[in-house]
Amino acid sequence: MSGEGVCDEEVYDTVYREHAPGLFRFLAYKHGNEAKARDTVQESFLKLWEKCMDVLPEKAKSFLFTVANNQFLNEVRKEKVRLDFSKQSGTTQVDHESPGFKLEYTEYGKRLEEAINSLPEGQREVFLLNRIEKHTYKQIAEMLDVSVKAIEKRMHKALLKLKTLLHPK
């Protein structure tokens, strides 16, 4: 195989034939849902094609499994945010809240989810790992193989963008 990445269709097809079945099994086990697993396999191979010049054939398997696992984790985090928010909104402490307050609370939850989803992937990932999963900056830096300073910068930018989106002047 060449040292020019996996952009050559024959190389890409070979990578697909060799790794798609194993990637599917891995994701089907993690998701517990074959349709979601197939979708994630397709998305992973799409990302591989988008980055084909940067990925050597011998690194393709690692790239695919990393992308697929990150996509799976992002879905889990999104679902956790939805569940956590629905639990909070479903168990309000005060029974005499006005319908207007409840509507505002629900609307804010929707805006919050939309704002988080609108963050660039790196910022969203750091925000969710820290604020939802409760990982430290150091743990996140090790997971993502970047410096703690890079994590701090991503979090700072994420918080600024969320503040702007949620509290416009």
pLDDT by position in tens, the chain (length 169): 445 788 999 999 999 999 999 889 888 877 778 888 899 999 999 999 999 999 999 999 989 988 988 888 888 777 777 777 766 655 544 455 677 777 777 777 778 888 888 888 888 888 888 887 788 999 888 888 899 999 999 999 999 998 888 877 6
pLDDT at 64: 92
Domain boundary, last residue among 76, 91, 106 = 91
Q: For position 11, what pLDDT does the model report?
A: 93
What is the 8-class DSSP label of residue 167? S
Q: Do 10 and 51 lie in a common domain? A: yes
Please give the pLDDT value at position 73: 82
pTM value > 0.75:
no
What is the model's pLDDT at position 72?
Answer: 83
Domain boundary among 91, 118, 133: 91
**Tokens 């939850």 identify what position?**
109
The Cα 43–Cα 73 span in angstroms is 14
Per-residue pLDDT at 1: 41
Residues 163 and 130 in one domain: yes
Does residue 157 share a domain with residue 80?
A: no
Beta strands in the chain (DSSP E): none
Same domain for 69 and 128? Answer: no
Residues 101 and 159 in one domain: yes
The whole-angstrom separation of Cα 153 and Cα 85 is 26
Residues 141 and 60 in one domain: no
pLDDT the model gives residue 10: 93
* In a shared domain, residues 84 and 134: no
Q: Are 56 and 72 in contact (CB under 8 A)?
A: no
Count of structural domains within the chain: 2
98 shares its domain with 109:
yes
The answer to whether residues 3 and 17 belong to one domain is yes
Q: Are 82 and 32 part of one and the same domain?
A: yes
**Both 33 and 56 in a single domain?**
yes
Tell me the backbone φ, ψ of residue 119, rounded to 5 degrees. Answer: -65, 145
Question: What is the domain extent for residue 73?
Answer: 1-91
> Of the residues 35, 60, 91, which one is the last residue of a structural domain?
91
Burial category of 64 from C-beta neighbours within 10 Å (exposed 0-12, middle 13-18, buried 19 and up): buried
24 and 80 inside one domain:
yes
Which single residue is written with the structure tokens 């410096």?
147
CA–CA separation, 45 and 131 (whole Å): 30
